[in-house]
Structure 1
Amino acid sequence: MSSEKNTILNHQEIQHKIKRIAYQIYETNVNEKELIIAGIDKNGFLLAKKLKANLDKISDINSMLCNVTIDKKTPLNSLFTSLTPEDYTNKSVILVDDVLNSGSTLIYGVRHFLEVPLKQFKTAVLVNRNHKKFPVKADFKGISLSTSLKEHINVNLSKQPYEAYLD
């Protein structure tokens, strides 16, 4: 059995994509004093932390991280955030995930944040797979990739070297 990986993004490319997305977020929020970067638990949150670190280097926006935990089996009943709704009310929010596949995870995240008034709401992903079942889009994306439904994209952001590869 072969264990070859079909690399989509290597470490250097991922770092470049993160930096570019951080600049896009800054350009979109240049007049904001505060910004919430909400990462969907695990890889989305790791990506959000890396985006925040890059954003902090290039801007004076006070950015706050928010960890969003979603049970993908029962997303309506079990979505939790590390910040309270008062923390992000009337603020600009960026919802971050590593891969946008069908859009179900992002749409439940969007639904949660839209229960309070926001100044602005955007989404960011490292890889957009173009298999959407739900009307959600990535405002900021590292790469768009057309794949088959049987293929799976793995993203490693927890240890270096970072990589994204196709199974």
Structure 2
Amino acid sequence: MEFKSVLLDEKAIERTLTRVAHEIIEKNKGTEDIILVGIKRRGVPIAERIALLIEQFEGIRVPVSSVDITLYRDDLTSINDQPVLNNVDLGIDVKGKKIILVDDVLYTGRTARAAIDAIIDKGRPKMIQLAVLVDRGHRELPIRADYVGKNIPTSSKEMISVKLFETDEKDCVSIFEI
């Protein structure tokens, strides 16, 4: 892989997540019944950061949970016929709630679809919305994010790399040529 450029540095990520948090509050007319669900791995710390920002703005801490969609990924059957689901219990009751799925990069839509399947298996939420730090295009399924930090059109020969302090000890979004 060949490094091309840094698309978002630490400050840009902070500004972007601040805007997304405000958009979530505005679109949902407050924070009532909102639950943020981070898609493991990097969606979880992004969801936690958004929850902290919402708390700063509204004075209310929205619940945060996570979903590990390993079992639900339709593209993993070629790797293993019995993938392991690492998070059977979301730790929340989704019935009647506004679930906001949070992930780092939206690409084909398969991860988001798998996370939606996992959540619906646990109950019937009032609605499910999707928030992503980066939307790079190339959808294979009819999935669209409700909240997008940055749209970054890419070619299929490029890769977006998200690094977060919680998992990688630094914050940045970079693009690489494959």
* TM-score, structure 2 normalization: 0.82
Are 1:101 and 2:107 matched, yes or no?
A: yes
Q: Secondary structure, in 3 states, of the residue corresponding to 2:6?
A: strand
Q: Quick check: 1:126–1:142 contact (8 Å CA) kept in 2?
A: yes
Aligned partner of 1:63 in structure 2 is 62
CA 1:76–1:37 in 2, change beyond 3 Å: closer, same or farther? farther
TM-score (normalizing by structure 1) = 0.87
Letter in 2 for 1:18: L
Of 136, 142, 156, which residue of structure 1 is paired with 2:149? 142
Aligned pair in 2 of structure 1 residues 76, 22: CA closer, same or farther (>3 Å)? farther
2:140 corresponds to: 133
Query: Which of 167, 171, 175 is the aligned partner of 1:166?
Result: 175
Counterpart mapping for 1:30-109 below 5 A: 30-71=29-70, 72=73, 73-74=76-77, 78=85, 80=87, 83-84=90-91, 87-109=93-115
**Larger mean Cα displacement after TM superposition, 68-77 or 50-59:** 68-77
Cα distance, 1:121 vs structure 2? 1.3
Unaligned 5+ runs, structure 2: none
| Pairwise CA RMSD | 2.3
- Looking at structure 2, the residues matched to 37 and 81 of structure 1 have their Cα atoms a distance apart, in angstroms, of 17
Equivalent residues of 2:35, 2:62 under 8 A apart: yes
1:114 alignment partner in structure 2: 120
Give how far 1:37 is off.
0.3
Q: State how many pairs are aligned.
A: 165
Q: 2:56 and 2:41 mapped to 1: Cα distance? A: 23
Task: Tell me the alpha carbon deviations over residues 34-83 of structure 1, each in whole angstroms, 9 at most, x when there is no partner.
Answer: 31100011211111111111011111444111111122525987373552
| Mapped partners of 2:113, 2:3: distance in 1 | 33
One-letter code aligned to 2:153: S
% identity of equivalent residues: 28
Cα–Cα, structure 1 residues 147 and 34, in superposed 2: closer, same or farther, change >3 Å? same
Counterpart AA for 1:22: A
CA contact (8 A) 1:34 1:61 kept: no
